[in-house]
Amino acid sequence: MDLRSADFWRGALAKAAASCNIPAIRIMEVCGTHTHAIAKNNLRELLPESVKLISGPGCPICVSGVLFIEKIRTLLRKGVTVAMFGDLLRIPGNDGTLMGEKNLQLVYSPEDALAFAIKNPDKEVVFAAVGFAPTLSAAAALMQGCCEAKVKNFSILSDFKEITPVLTALTQSRQLSGLLLPGHVASVVGCNYFKNLHVPAVVAGFEPENILHSIKLILEAVTVSNNDFLCNNYPEAVRDNGNTFALKLIDEYFEPTVSTWRGLGDIDFSGWKLKADHAGFDAEKRFDLSQVSGRENPACRCGEVLTGAIEPQECPLFGKVCTPEKPAGACMSSSEGACAAMFQYQGGRL
């Protein structure tokens, strides 16, 4: 963003905030991609003092707890090949990360995991599945292909997340003024999916100008106390009712369930599991992982960062014993983590 544009947005946001007559306006950017775009482009520097951006639980790698890592470790030590995204490799579990564990297969997409299973019929292959609606819909398509091809050596360890129950909880507990909603998720579920959050909310794209315009729209809604305000500011990728084909596919193979979120614990209807008709592809049941346990590192405050209770540099580990080269927690480990963004682009400065 050039200096001229920066000056324009600094003035426009200051004017919008001045009309709010609220001493502290707290806006949560839910998506990890937004968090990195905001830090990379130093957008916080353009905000008036009364407006504060807070990072939220929009990094799927970060919100998956230690228990999920330990379930992966258990599978690996049973001789099962686990296909997973690379970011999971550096998330600490009970006894360190998964670095050095045998039987790991790093993939870039769910399709890669199934392709590996088909090419290696002698191996039991589990896809360690994390993510929100976009990855969930890809996994649903994967399940369709898996059933049609009658693949016998493939299953899914699901830690897919459903964001709206968590947003409802956070708007009540964190006194949020507004929400910057994730464009990637909305491209699947649709803008209307985020109705009834009871704070001004805008589905935003990822260019700096779009993010700043979305913040301005939230401030204008705060000014008139329009808590039902919901705007699609990313119409080139998001429809009101989402991708109906993808949603139908999700409904065919998955159903909501209780899920564990780092920093929030167990939340009803905030995760997804395979339906009973497809239980044969459920790694949790197939390999009896019910007795696996996980314990969070009490020194790491990643859970509080993810829920907006503290800022990254308020964690005593940040930038000292916890760095991107040697992360102590998920928010520094993941490429979408708030701590990683703060460290990489702003050296810990807000």
Residue 342 tokens read as 């703060």
Q: Are 157 and 72 in contact (CB under 8 A)?
A: yes
Note the pLDDT tens digit of each residue in 21-79.
888 999 999 999 999 999 999 999 999 999 999 999 999 989 988 999 999 999 999 99
What's the pLDDT at 350? 45
Closest CA to 210 of 229, 238, 188: 238
**pLDDT bracket for residue 172 (50, 70, 90):** confident
What does the alpha-carbon distance between residue 131 and residue 146 come to, in Å, rounded to a whole number? 20
What does the alpha-carbon distance between residue 32 and residue 46 come to, in Å, rounded to a whole number? 20
Lowest mean pLDDT among 60-64, 170-174, 257-261, 318-322: 170-174
What does the alpha-carbon distance between residue 207 and residue 182 come to, in Å, rounded to a whole number? 13
Average pLDDT over residues 145-150: 90
**pLDDT bracket for residue 161 (50, 70, 90):** very high
pTM of the model as a whole: 0.92
Side chain identity, residue 315: C
What's the pLDDT at 346? 72
**Integer CA distances (angstroms), 92 to 64, 197, 307, in order:** 11, 33, 19
What does the alpha-carbon distance between residue 297 and residue 322 come to, in Å, rounded to a whole number? 12
pLDDT of residue 6 exceeding 50: yes
**pLDDT bracket for residue 331 (50, 70, 90):** very high
Helix boundaries (H) for the chain:
3-18, 32-40, 60-63, 66-77, 110-119, 133-149, 164-173, 183-189, 208-223, 244-253, 283-286, 302-306, 330-333, 338-346
